[in-house]
Amino acid sequence: MNAKEIVSTINHDISQTGARYYNQFYVGITDNEARFKKVHNVNDEKWSKSYLAANLGEAQTVKTFYINQGMRGTKNSSHADSKGQVYVYCYLITNSTYE
C-alpha cells in the first residue's frame, strides 16, 4: 500500500478502538511483524496492527506523518531495510507495552 492508503486504513482502524488521542498509540517500521510484538511486549489481547507498505519510503512517510500528529515513536529509526517487505506497525500503548 502507498502512504495515503495506509494513513486512511490506520485512521479507520484506530477509530474503532475507543482511544481518543494519537498520543495513546505508538507507530514504527519493521520488516518482521513477530519481532515488533516481542520487542514492544504487544500480544494479541492488545490492539495492534501492521500494514504492508509498498516500500521503505512510503513507510517512512506514514511514520513521520503520525509522529508529527502526536503518536509516539522514534523519528529516525526503523527495524527494516529497503531490501525486503516493510511494514508500518501501530499499537495502543498500555501499562505493559514497551515504547
Output the nine-digit C-alpha cell for 80.
527494516
Lowest mean pLDDT among 5-9, 16-20, 73-77, 90-94: 73-77
Report pLDDT digits (tens) over 26-75.
899 988 887 877 877 787 666 889 899 999 999 999 999 999 999 998 87
pTM (2 decimals)?
Answer: 0.87
Closest CA to 30 of 70, 92, 69, 77: 77
pLDDT at residue 17 tops 70:
yes
Determine the Cα–Cα distance for residues 49 and 88; give it in Å rounded to an integer. Answer: 8
Other CB atoms closer than 10 Å to residue 81's CB: what's the count?
A: 9
Determine the Cα–Cα distance for residues 51 and 6; give it in Å rounded to an integer. Answer: 7
Determine the Cα–Cα distance for residues 24 and 68; give it in Å rounded to an integer. Answer: 14
